[in-house]
Amino acid sequence: MTLLSENQAGNTPVATGLVLSVGETTEVSPTVRHVRLTAPDGRVLPSFTPGSHIVVTCGTGPDGRPRRNSYSLTGPGFEPDHYGISVRLDEKGRGGSRWIHRLQVGDPVQVSTPRSAFAPVLAARHHVLVAGGIGVTPVLSHVRAAVQWGRSFEVHYTFRAGDGPHLEELRRLCGTRLHTCTDSNSFREHIGPVLLDQPIGTHLYVCGPAGLIDELTTRAHRAGWPGARVHYEHFGVGDLDPGTPFTAHLRRSGSEVEVDSGVSLLEALETHGTAVPNLCRQGVCGECRLPVVSGGIDHRDLYLTAAEKEAGDCLMPCVSRASGQRLELDL
């Protein structure tokens, strides 16, 4: 296992990471491939909390920069002998899933150490886990830990008929605690009573497409769930409008950086020679947050809270832009 320093990891700083190798690949549904990553010397890997993800460098993008995607870890978290990720092939995506689906046993793969952003609340009286499609991956990790530690839980899993990744594994782990739906209308009917009939102290966890998360969080709010007991994890912001050009003024250095349409502020800063720590480059992880001195912001991330966005004093430059012609950054 090779440890990477920040400078070795690519042309932009990333968290210290590991170089692992592909130990095994398995098709866990018609469109989803599971990849088992192991240390080349067989060593135990760093432990992680359920719901953690790693950032995988999936080759390089068309601009020659490393292409990095976040993937949830599906396997056991304590002193693991491998990291397992499951990736749905997206032919129209940025290329990360195609790169993963082409991996062969023995190929080296550069990954970050695990990061926790969707951990179970250990003091919860009961855990209601909701997964949509490939959103099952962090839920599977929660379920393994809940079974191991005897925690109270139930799982509600909605997926396209015939394309439910890890379904058999969940059936084995959950038994009667697993409820499945293969069409959205029946899922909507099913989940209503679930949200209304839970003991005080229950926590809700949702991972899946943005529409599912929006619907579940709205319905939970209407059903009286306190926000602190509702947890969710997005996949990323998807394809974004290229936006209009603007100028970023860097207050401390006095530099002006032009940001073209179709180029992110993060990319423009990197081209200018200003390194900004980053991981997901999809508005999810929070790593690239930058302080804003003045100027309107077109927030497009899934990380900042509504109050933070309204305050207007920071932005995630991997996806967010100026809403006007100029933005002043505290850089």
Which residues sit at the interface with ligand FES, rule CB under 6 A? Answer: 278-281, 283-288, 301, 303, 316, 318
Name the minimum Å distance from CB 291 to ligand FES: 14
- Evaluate whether 314 touches 292 at the Cβ level (below 8 Å): yes
Tokens 């290229």 label which residue? 242
Decide: 126 and 152 in contact? Cβ < 8 Å: yes
- Residue 60: CB minimum distance to ligand FES, A: 17
Contact by Cβ (8 Å): 114, 58: no
Indicate the residue among 54 and 155 with the shorter CB distance to ligand FES.
Answer: 54
Which tokens in the block code for residue 62? Answer: 């068309």
CB of 284 to ligand FES, least distance (A): 6
- Output 132 or 317, the one with its CB closest to ligand FES: 317
CB of 205 to ligand FES, least distance (A): 21
Distances from the Cα of 76 to the Cαs of 46, 231, 249, in angstroms? Answer: 11, 21, 46
- Distance in angstroms (rounded) separating the CA atoms of residues 21 and 16: 17
Smallest distance, ligand FES to C-beta of residue 75, A? 23
CB of 301 to ligand FES, least distance (A): 6
Q: How many angstroms separate the CA atoms of 53 and 41, rounded?
A: 22
Q: Which residues pair with 31 in a beta bridge?
A: none
- CB nearer to ligand FES: pick between 233 and 287: 287
Q: Are β-strands 83-88 and 2-4 bridged in parallel, bridged antiparallel, or unpaired?
A: unpaired
User: In the complex, what is the shortest distance from the CB of residue 286 to ligand FES, in angstroms, rounded to a whole number?
Assistant: 5
Nearest to ligand FES of 191, 279 (CB atom): 279
Our CB check for ligand FES shows the closer of 24 and 313 to be 313
Position 213, amino acid? I
Residue with tokens 């135990």: 44
Using the minimum distance from each CB to ligand FES, give the nearer residue, 69 or 198.
Answer: 69
Nearer to ligand FES, 259 or 318 (CB): 318
Closest contact distance (angstroms) between CB of 288 and ligand FES is 3
175 Cβ contact partners less than 8 Å away, ≥ 6 residues apart: none
Write the DSSP symbol of residue 93: S
Closer residue to ligand FES, CB minimum distance, 17 or 283: 283
Strands annotated E in the chain:
2-4, 17-29, 32-38, 53-60, 66-72, 83-88, 108-112, 126-132, 153-158, 178-181, 202-207, 230-233, 246-250, 255-259, 290-294, 297-298, 314-315, 321-322, 326-329
Q: Work out how close the CB of 55 gets to ligand FES at its nearest, in angstroms, rounded to a whole number.
A: 9
In angstroms, the CA 329 to CA 46 distance is 36
- Is the CB of 215 or the CB of 233 nearer to ligand FES? 233
Nearest 10 degrees: Cα torsion 122, 236, 307, 194: -50
Residues 128, 194 contacting (CB under 8 angstroms): yes
